[in-house]
Structure formats: C-alpha cells, structure tokens
C-alpha cells in the first residue's frame, strides 16, 4: 500500500484536514475520495484517526495510506456539457475546463472527459486501455484548454504517431510567480518521478528523460508574470516543474510551490496544431485565456492591454 507523509506547514494551518490532504495528493484525487480515506481510517494525524472537519495545526504529522483502487472495468457515458471547438467523422477537438479529469482513475470514476465524449460520440476507438478510448494525450485535472480525441482507428493511429514523434504544436499561457527576468528563454532539464513523492515529477539529470520548454514573457506585474510557453517534449507536469526549476512556479500550483493566489494552477493550453488524419493538412485550434485567469490579470491592472496582446 502506498503512503504519503507530510507535516502541516504554516500556510495550511487552520484548514480542514480533508482540504489539506486533497491539496497534497493533487490532481487525480477528488474530495469525495479523500473523505472515503478519512472515514475509513486511512488518514491519521499524529497517529490518531480524525474526522474530515478536523482543523489542521502547524507541525501536525499526517500519514495518508492509499489502498489500491477498485478495478474499473469500463467507462460509462455521461451527459456532461462539452465546449466543442471542432468535430468531424475523424476527430473531435474540445476546450477542457479546469477541474475535469480526462479519464477515470483513483477517486475519479465519473465526471470525466472520456465519459462526456462517449455520450456525445457514441463510440470511440480502442487504445488498448478500456478507460482511455480515443485519448491520445491528456491535460492535468486543473489545467484548462485545447484537447483532441480520435473518433476512428485510423485517426487514432495518425494522432498517436504525431504525438510520439513530437510533430504536434502545443502552446500554453501561464501566470507564474515573481518577475521573470529574461524576455525569452529555453528550459532544458530532464524529468523523472520524484524520489520520495511519487505523485510529483522532479528535475533529475541522471535518470530523467529529455524535456525542453520554450517561454516568452508577455507582461510583467509587481509579483507575477504572464508567459506564453511552447512544449517541444510532452513530459508529465513539464511546464509546472520547469517553471519551478526556473524559480517561477505557476500561480495556484500548491504541489510545486506556486502558492494559493488562485484556486487552481494558472495554466491554459492555448493552442494545439497537428496534421488532420484525413485530408493530411495541418490544422490548428485555439482557446482564449479562461475567465479566472483573465480576471486575475485584469484585477492586477492590465485591463484592455491584455486583450490586445491575447
């Protein structure tokens, strides 16, 4: 059984323990699943069982046991609204909202993008994983933006090959902590699973896989920076870890040191470009910066200027 151990810091003191645990586990684990863990004694504070409403104190030692999740044999279609940017008989392109998990996993059996796609499309091609039909890439739960899914086996093969060969154009916008000094830059730092916390990634020069992120400053503020980023590789949590490595974690990304300025990490997949499986022409789909990020920027005083730049 996997375990997560942590000590409640100053920033989390005074919060309910269920919220503290949810933040530590990160995307892929819902509040409902955390409540299940607490109610069944899998969460202990100073070696004592607690209720979900227990108020954490600074210095509390917390142990979270993660039992193997029950097997999920298949995904049920669900009538969940989708923001569809484009669809035809080959592909469907959607603007995924923050808070939606792409496919079922621990603590997220329902309410996923796959369930919504199955309801809308009726059928998606087999990927070899019953929980991920039609899925060729993913976004973190709290990252919003453009995603494509395949509707036919031929489209699945085409898209999967393009992602594997890094022939897909991926552009993001993010709000990051502090003032980024250089107008443009490249972060080249190999990534691997964190040696202690298996829910995280870390820069690891010996055992890590190649990862490369290009960034451009759009606008600097007193304590944060709006940046546009292009991924030349597609590692798990790549932008989030690379920006932390640069000293500028994504705002709202509690897992990687971005603080709690926003209720979720301020990261949005702004554009996705690839070769369409049927006509063989390059296509690109875009999504404007979502309201929560735009509102944060506008409250910081940029107002109309950001609209001209975006």
Q: Give the model confidence (pLDDT) of 20-69 as tens digits.
A: 998 888 766 777 788 889 999 999 999 999 999 999 999 999 999 988 65
Assigned token pair, 27? 């995307």
Best CA proximity match to 303, nearest among 217, 180, 219: 219
Q: Across the beta sheet with 43-45, what order do the strands follow?
A: 2-7, 61-66, 43-45, 48-49
Active site residues: 140
* Confidence at residue 13, expressed as pLDDT on a 0 to 100 scale: 92
pLDDT of residue 4: 87
243, containing H or E segment: helix 238-245
H-helix segments, 49-196: 113-121, 153-164
The CATH superfamily assigned to 75-165 is: Pseudouridine synthase (3.30.2350.10)
Superfamily of domain 2-66: RNA-binding S4 domain (3.10.290.10)
Looking at the chain, the domain(s) classified CATH 3.30.2350.10 span: 75-165, 170-269+293-309
At 304 the pLDDT is 46
- Of 247 and 193, which is predicted with more confidence? 247
CATH topology of domain 170-269+293-309: Pseudouridine synthase (3.30.2350)
Residues 98-129: tens digit of each pLDDT: 999 998 876 677 889 999 999 999 999 998 88
* Per-residue pLDDT reduced to its tens digit, 139-151: 999 999 999 999 9
Range list for CATH 3.10.290.10 in the chain: 2-66
């Amino acid at each position: 059984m996997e375990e997560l151990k942590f000590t409640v810091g100053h920033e989390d003191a005074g919060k309910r323990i269920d919220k503290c645990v949810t933040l530590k586990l990160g995307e892929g684990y819902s509040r409902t699943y955390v409540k299940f863990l607490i109610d069944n004694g899998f969460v202990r504070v100073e070696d004592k069982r607690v209720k979900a409403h227990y108020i954490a104190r600074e210095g509390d030692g917390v142990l979270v046991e993660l039992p193997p999740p029950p097997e999920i044999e298949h995904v049920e279609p669900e009538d969940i609204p989708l923001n569809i940017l484009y669809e035809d008989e080959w592909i469907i392109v959607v603007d995924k909202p923050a808070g939606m998990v792409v496919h079922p996993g621990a603590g997220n059996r329902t309410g996923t993008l796959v369930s919504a796609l199955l309801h809308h499309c009726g059928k998606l091609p087999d990927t070899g994983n019953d929980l991920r039909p039609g899925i060729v890439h993913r976004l973190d739960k709290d990252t919003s933006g453009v995603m494509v899914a395949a509707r036919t086996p031929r489209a699945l093969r085409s898209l999967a090959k393009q992602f594997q060969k890094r022939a897909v154009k991926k552009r993001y916008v993010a709000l990051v902590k502090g003032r980024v000094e250089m107008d443009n830059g490249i972060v080249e730092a190999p990534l691997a699973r964190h040696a202690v916390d298996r829910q995280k990634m870390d820069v690891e020069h010996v055992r890590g896989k190649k990862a490369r992120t290009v960034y451009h400053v759009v606008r600097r503020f007193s304590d944060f920076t709006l940046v546009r980023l292009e991924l030349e590789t597609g590692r798990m949590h790549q932008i989030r870890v690379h920006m932390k490595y640069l000293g500028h974690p994504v705002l709202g990304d509690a897992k990687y040191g971005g603080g709690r300025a926003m209720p979720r990490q301020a990261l949005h997949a702004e554009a996705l470009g690839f070769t369409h499986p049927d006509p063989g022409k390059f296509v690109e789909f875009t999504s404007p910066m979502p309201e929560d990020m735009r509102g944060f920027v506008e409250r910081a005083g940029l107002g109309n200027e950001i609209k001209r730049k975006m």
